[in-house]
Chains A and B, each alone.
Chain A
Amino acid sequence: MPQAIPLLVLGGFLGAGKTTLLNRLLADSEGARIAVLVNDFGSIAVDSRLVASADADTIELSNGCICCSIGSSLMETLLRLLARPVPPERLVIEASGVADPARIAAIGLAGDAFRLESIVTVIDAETVRCRAADPLVGDTVRRQIAAADLLVLNKSDLVEAHELDAVRSWLEAVAAVPIVVTAQAAVPPALLIGADRLPSLAHAATADHGEQFGQWVLAADRPFRRAALAEALDSFGSRLWRAKGFLRLAEQPDAVLLLQLVGRRWSLAAAPAGAAPEGVVLIGPPQTDGQAVIETLRSALA
């Protein structure tokens, strides 16, 4: 049985910076076979040079009739992707500027073709509050925020510091998910895609990433208690952006499991053969008290 293809769904209203973020992901994809489905015909095009150099390909979806499914090309495109002799290693779907990304992400939760890694909604710091209050599109914008596992608060350079703070606290009040503040969609790609892209434990323990983000390690070869681990992971809220680890559970001590977390979404799956239960790498905003996060996790050990 082929492995499920990891899926990232990028949501966000028109002009929030989804395509810029996509281009950054592609530029940094290190030769991975990424299939990118784009749904918007905005002012910025996906950079074809990046697509070419990254051994990735971009497929433009045309907007179907949502009332009768006529012309909906998403279903056909996904079936064709899976039928390829060499299927992509990773799938990124850029939702249209008015789409609810959760509706698209549902394919990563049904069946074993795709595995939803995260829904990331990009927010325009300059306009989001105005749009969220708009009688025509306010509900659309709020649904996009509510669907996210991780919010990218973009265009922070275009607003005053106090405004940015205000937008940030407003977002925190409407959605209990981690927020990455950035400009020009300059999000470290490791935050968005691929557990395989996270640094190894050994490297992570020594790296220094300065101001951009904090990175912490819990090295542990003891098993976790399942319920306690779940409770700990659910408690981090906006303090954690990503986590990856190889671990065991007291309930099934013979299996090594892969833990992956993006924002508020996490999953445990069988680890690749040969993986050792060495612990967990955590990434979060620089202001997070990493020691406290590690202690919370440690308390879930059996």
Chain B
Amino acid sequence: MPPAAPISVFVARKIVTMNPSHPEATHVAVRHGRILGVGSLDELARWGEYRLDDSLADKVLLPGLVEGHSHAVEGGMWRYCHVGFHDRRGPDGKLWPGLQSIEEVVGRLREAEAGLGVPDQPLFAWGLDPIFFGGRRMSRADLDQVSTTRPVIVVHASGHLMNVNSVILERARIDRSSNIHGVLKDDAGDPTGELLEFAAMFMAYRVVGDEYLMTRTSAEGYRAFGRLANLAGVTTATDLFNDLKPESVEHLRQVTAAADFPLRLLPAFNASSAKPEDGIAKMAGLVPTSTDKLRFGLVKLMTDGSIQGFTARLRWPGYFNGRPNGIWNMAPEEIRRYVDAYHRAGYQLHIHTNGDEASEVTLDAIEAAMVAQPRPDHRHTLQHCQMADAAQFRRMASLGVCVNLFANHLFYWGDAHYSQTMGPDRAERMDACATALREGVTLAMHSDAPVTPIGPLFTAWCAVNRLTSSGRLLGAHERIAVADALQAITLGAARTLKLDHEIGSIEVGKRADFCVLEDDPTAVDPAGLKDVRVWGTVLGGRPFPASGG
């Protein structure tokens, strides 16, 4: 027998374990990347010789945070200039302060423009959210201040519209005589440079090519995503919508195999990219090739659109401002067919349902699949599920369905939900974390990065405080306790990924994955949860300081 691997013992100011039978400790012993014991140094020393690591002695350890719904494309977007309203950190750790006016956006774009080489190279930027600019819209004149010779494209946070400068308008031959749906014009009849929806945006992409669309799923993008996760204290994250084409699988393998990649990544297969039988065959081939940092097995379905885009499928009484019901991304009969096929084949489904009609159809489909083929502990998970009411949560509980709620929405779009999409009553029970817990549903919550930044402590803050970006308290009775929120971003999320036997708490036998904090989230004022400082992570016993160390 080979000699047992050496033991490292980490000492910390406090270890919050999320294990109710041993909730706190000061030391954790690690062997082979796994947790050998949790307790005092005295207790752990009984295992034999060890090396004491006191580099985290003044930190607070949590189980490595788990982001159950994110998209790795966020990594690739940081090649380009970010112009969002809220502060956001890039993969290099650099803080991009939020921009509070169009002038500030133009200022940042001019800086970025000055850094570009080739004179004709397009300038791309992303994350613009003009709803915060008091009604003022960006115009071509603003972007012409950035450049009158190089194409400039600024994509909005929603992804459904963009602003462009005059160079693009001219090259795309868009002028006052164009009568094109989605090309906005000013009072004088000239295009403003704002392009809405697919066709108008296509005209702009035609000028600059597909580079911006393609580079987002490169190997470098996955690496950058790993760094973003590390900065947020995340050790396990999903890439919750991936066609798993051979070249992206190859990128995933390459990137996650590197010892210095600080993340366990779970790509979820986009089931609608193939017939069920082909998708199931593909999964059967991929699952056995999983490694400890790359896990195949999750399957993603998309049922409807988004609430703020008025494309989510709603039950009565529909949208507050009277807009027609949204659109299906898959027909209800297709949802039933795909759920049944993947359920039978033994896979775990993660199903995007924003509106409550989409959630209802999905629950019906899962129930029918379970009647046809009983299967214990399937843990199919509704993703977003923002409008579920108590009765739907009760159905989830009795069907064994988990939920991953989009708590960040409360802050980012809560005001719009209150005034336009849902109206006060339903807005106050959106992303109903308290109801989910009360009804006994396994709860996770998420960022949907890049839609909002990855950062489970911020997500927990949203669920605990339920404050919108204007400061409105949205649904006091749906607030949850800090302890419950911390559970949802660790063990709760791990349960929705069927990994709670491996990660999600600091206890014997699990992987030595820790979120390392400067402050104690259980001791700070709950209003300050989002400001708890992240030192970095430990993954499989190896420290990954966010500073790069």
Contact = CB atoms under 8 A, between A and B. Distances in A.
A136 B365 CA distance: 14
Interface in A61-89: 62-63, 65-71, 74-76, 78-80, 82-83
B270 A74 contact: no
A27 interface: no
A68 B272 contact: no
A109 B181 contact: yes
Contacts of B327: 66, 98-100, 140
B547 to A, nearest CB: 30
Nearest to B276: A41
Contacts of B71: 68, 70
Contact of A106 (B199, B242, B330, B450): B199
B306 A68 contact: yes
Contacts of B450: 68
A219 interface: no
**Which of A60, A70, A75, A82 has the most chain B CB atoms inside 10 A of its CB?**
A70
Given A139-B324, A140-B327, A140-B328, A71 B243 contact: yes
Interface residues of B, number: 56
Interface string B329-346: 111111000000000000
B180 to A, nearest CB: 4
B206 A136 contact: no
Nearest to B331: A98
B198 interface: yes
A70 B199 CA distance: 16
A41 B272 CA distance: 8
B100 interface: no
A246 interface: no
A147 to B, nearest CB: 13
A216 interface: no
Contacts of B202: 75, 78, 107, 110-111, 113
Interface in B434-457: 448, 450-451
A190 B214 CA distance: 37
A52 B197 CA distance: 34
Contact of A98 (B198, B214, B328): B328
B173 A106 contact: no
A18 to B, nearest CB: 13
B198 A106 contact: yes
A198 B297 CA distance: 52
Q: How many A residues touch the partner, as a band?
A: 35 or more
B275 A41 contact: yes
A79 B243 contact: no
B180 A62 contact: no
Contact of A67 (B200, B213, B309): B309
Nearest to B199: A106
A63 B327 CA distance: 13
B252 to A, nearest CB: 15
Interface in A1-40: 13-14
B373 interface: no
Nearest to B301: A63
A66 B311 contact: yes
B153 to A, nearest CB: 13
B241 A71 contact: yes
A13 B172 CA distance: 34
A67 B302 CA distance: 10
Interface in B198-215: 198-203, 205-206, 209-210, 213-214
A111 B181 CA distance: 11
Contacts of B332: 136-137
A111 B274 contact: no
A162 interface: no
Given A97-B331, A140-B328, A69 B197 contact: no
A247 to B, nearest CB: 23
Given A67-B309, A71-B241, A78-B202, A14 B331 contact: yes
A49 interface: no
Interface string A168-196: 00000000000000000000000000000
A125 to B, nearest CB: 18
Contacts of A71: 241-243, 270
A63 B306 CA distance: 15
Interface string B186-228: 0000000000011111110110011001100000000000000
Contacts of A113: 202, 206
Contact of B181 (A98, A106, A139): A106
A106 B182 contact: yes
Contact of B209 (A63, A79, A112): A79
Contact of A62 (B203, B209, B273, B324): B273
A75 B331 CA distance: 22
Interface in A242-260: none
A113 B174 CA distance: 13
Nearest to B213: A76
A23 to B, nearest CB: 17
B273 A79 contact: no
Contact of A111 (B206, B242, B305, B325): B206
B230 interface: no
A269 B174 CA distance: 19
B73 interface: yes
A209 interface: no
B334 A14 contact: yes
A140 B243 CA distance: 26
Nearest to B358: A136
B17 interface: no
B159 interface: yes
A103 interface: yes
B397 interface: no
Nearest to A102: B181
B328 A137 contact: yes
B354 interface: yes
Contact of A110 (B200, B311, B329, B352): B200
Given A14-B334, A79-B210, A100-B327, A136 B357 contact: yes
Nearest to A67: B306
B129 to A, nearest CB: 14
Interface in B216-273: 241-243, 270, 272-273
Given A67-B311, A98-B327, A98-B330, A62 B210 contact: no
Contacts of B451: 67-68
B331 A13 contact: yes
Nearest to B216: A70
B210 A111 contact: no
B159 A69 contact: yes
A140 B329 CA distance: 11
A109 B334 CA distance: 31
Contacts of A78: 202
Contacts of B333: 14
Contacts of B214: 76
B481 interface: no
B274 A41 contact: yes
A68 B328 contact: no
B361 interface: yes
B4 to A, nearest CB: 46
Interface of B: 71, 73, 158-160, 172-174, 180-183, 197-203, 205-206, 209-210, 213-214, 241-243, 270, 272-275, 302, 305-306, 309, 311-312, 324-325, 327-334, 352, 354, 357, 361, 448, 450-451
The 6 closest A-B pairs by CB, nearest first: A67-B306, A106-B199, A62-B273, A110-B199, A69-B159, A63-B272
27 contacts: A14-B331, A14-B333, A41-B274, A41-B275, A63-B272, A63-B302, A65-B241, A65-B302, A66-B309, A66-B327, A66-B329, A67-B352, A67-B451, A68-B158, A68-B306, A68-B450, A70-B159, A71-B241, A76-B210, A83-B209, A97-B331, A103-B197, A106-B182, A109-B180, A113-B202, A137-B328, A140-B327
